Structure 1
Amino acid sequence: MENFTAQRYTECRKEVELMLADNLILLRGLKGLTQEQAAEIAGVTRQSYSKWEQGVSHS
């Protein structure tokens, strides 16, 4: 098993955030939703949802 360093953990986390962002954009497009509609479904503000799609982390 690989021994994660703090730097590698950060790199992996960013990769996962970007994959999530790509999937959110793709799925929202497939459903024909606006960010506002998707945010309402997710129970967050449009601004928060937009940050998710940008891969912006809160940490």
Structure 2
Amino acid sequence: MAATYLSRKGAQAVILNYRENPLAIQYELIEDSLITDATTDLERALIRKSKKMEMIA
């Protein structure tokens, strides 16, 4: 698996780009590398921002 290879080569994190990737990689960590999905991270950030804006209004 590419994420395992990258981790063994010293990658601190692997950022997934497409919605299908989290279905194939269902771990938050592979060996010592963080696995994150950029789309999900963006969605979470937008939800947090939206909630902050609702509190201000």
**TM-score tier after normalising by the smaller chain length:** 0.3 to 0.5
**Which structure is higher in RCO with an 8 Å CA cutoff and minimum separation 6?**
1
Task: Specify which structure has the higher proportion of strand.
Answer: 2
Higher radius of gyration, 1 or 2: 2
Task: Specify which structure has the higher proportion of helix.
Answer: 1
Scaled by the length of structure 2, what TM-score is found?
Answer: 0.45
